[in-house]
Structure 1
Amino acid sequence: MSNLEDQLKNPVWYSLNETHNKYLIAYEGVQFYDQEVCTFGSFFDEANTLGASRHYVESTDSFFFVSENKTPIIDESKIVLEKKIEGCQMVLNQLPEIKISEDITLLGREHMDEIYNLIWLVMPGYYRRRTFEMGNYYGIFKEGKLVAVTGQRLQTDLFIEISAVVTHPDYTRKGLAKQLIAYTTNQILKVNKKPILHTNKGNLAIPLYEKLGFELTRDMNWWSYRKIGS
């Protein structure tokens, strides 16, 4: 069995091996999510990404390879690199005492469209409607409207990733994201797993994550690809 440190070096791979195995699409030593749920791919040997990515783009117009320090190989006649997102991984050291004053709701399938619309309003590109299936989502409502959300994405028997930390532009600077992250972190700790998150380098939210007890641990890069002609 793999240990936590090994899993955190390749979190997409191990999520698909364990908790999210039902979403696994495997080609020639490369593992992808079912594109209706998530378009992340993972590998250990970048030589395998050439053929595997050719297969995967038959079912999706775009996807990401996620890797700490390796560069995928692609067929440039079929696939174009749109951008490399230089990211980083943060792992919880110790959660400080945070007062939760907002009513936080465990979101259900009936909220799927609201979650999707809010995330795409603020942070388009990653989230698909069925991404909701990857873990629990929590939200804050104001006047019957979902205005802030936090979700769980990649996960194994050892860790759960906090993701989709989004607040509607009309409700920022009110501490909603801080309370949601703290609440979600506590839910992860209750099931004896390590809370982690990923963000891009230089994100203005990193100081907030650090105040909530998260520490930068390693690079984790997202290579964004698009099928030529799409």
Structure 2
Amino acid sequence: MKDLEHQLKNPVWHSLKETHKKFVIEFNRVQFYKPDVCNFAAFYDDTKTAKAANEYTNSSDDFFFVSENQTPIVDGINVVLEKKTDGCQMVLNKLVDIEITEDIVLLDETFIDEIYDLVWLVMPGYYKKRTFEMGNYYGILKDGKLVSIAGQRMQTNLFIEISAVVTHPDYTGKGLARQLIVHNTKEILKENKTPILHTNKGNLAIPLYEKLGYKLTRDMNWWLYRKV
């Protein structure tokens, strides 16, 4: 469990070291996802982030440094902070099972455009079309239309992050997200990995996650930087 705890303190870093190493771009010992896959980056040494950020923005206009308690350094000339999001990490403590009444399907490549459009409708700003390649995506369809999804994002040999939990505004309040979270959680447990998720502090969805067996474990902050 010590290894898991170590990884969870810097999940982007360890994802890019293990399961997602095919997506890594590294500058000066700072790790970034390829910009068409995900705009997350991680570091251990904050003295190296300024030079690395300048290098990375040759291929991407913006990115997030993700950190539990370190503050990245940038030069403020070529790269500036646009906003800081105070986030938190949640880890499954004990799954609270619920009845699955919906037909939940594993989404294949034919749904890439629908997934992208749904995420950007509900939660714009971070999802790329190739984010689909980071893990499995599960969805619920109504009348042939994808109306709710829950995907998988950062992951290592020890954990998998549930992400992109979104429901079309016309279908909220029906418990679709709740069922997708539980289904996704069970699929992760089948792989003998720990399910985790990240959200903003104060998110109204936190009580739902807690009811499904997740607990708050640590801060996880998201620093959005943009090229000048």
Q: TM-score range by the shorter chain?
A: over 0.9
Question: 1:83 offset after TM fit, Å?
Answer: 0.5
Report the AA paired with residue 80 of structure 1.
V
User: 2: distance between equivalents of 1:193 and 1:80?
Assistant: 37
Cross-structure match for 2:159: 159
Question: 1:208 offset after TM fit, Å?
Answer: 0.1
Match of 1:196, SS state, is: strand
User: 1: distance between equivalents of 2:67 and 2:80?
Assistant: 18
User: 2: distance between equivalents of 1:126 and 1:210?
Assistant: 25
Report the AA paired with residue 81 of structure 2.
L
Cross-structure match for 1:64: 64
Question: 1:34 offset after TM fit, Å?
Answer: 0.4
Alignment of 1:47-196 (within 5 A): 47-196=47-196
Question: 1:80 offset after TM fit, Å?
Answer: 1.6
Cross-structure match for 1:226: 226
Question: Please, which runs of 5 or more residues in structure 1 have no aligned partner?
Answer: none
User: 2: distance between equivalents of 1:31 and 1:118?
Assistant: 29
Deviations 1:154-177 (A, max 9, x none): 000000000000000000010000
Cross-structure match for 2:14: 14
Deviations 1:34-61 (A, max 9, x none): 0010010000011110100000000001
TM-score by length of 2: 0.99
User: 2: distance between equivalents of 1:103 and 1:65?
Assistant: 37
What value does the CA root-mean-square deviation take over the aligned residues? 0.7
Cross-structure match for 1:4: 4
User: 1: distance between equivalents of 2:77 and 2:9?
Assistant: 30
Alignment of 1:18-29 (within 5 A): 18-29=18-29
Report the AA paired with residue 120 of structure 2.
W
Match of 1:3, SS state, is: helix
User: 2: distance between equivalents of 1:30 and 1:87?
Assistant: 21
User: 1: distance between equivalents of 2:96 and 2:40?
Assistant: 32
Match of 1:77, SS state, is: coil
TM-score by length of 1: 0.98
User: 1: distance between equivalents of 2:95 and 2:173?
Assistant: 21
User: 1: distance between equivalents of 2:125 and 2:112?
Assistant: 16
Match of 2:22, SS state, is: helix
Report the AA paired with residue 49 of structure 1.
T
Query: Identity percentage over the alignment?
Result: 67
Match of 1:60, SS state, is: coil
Match of 2:77, SS state, is: coil
- Number of residue pairs matched? 227
User: 1: distance between equivalents of 2:115 and 2:38?
Assistant: 15
Report the AA paired with residue 158 of structure 2.
L
Question: 1:126 offset after TM fit, Å?
Answer: 1.1
User: 2: distance between equivalents of 1:46 and 1:126?
Assistant: 23
User: 1: distance between equivalents of 2:82 and 2:149?
Assistant: 28
Moved over 2 A (4+): none
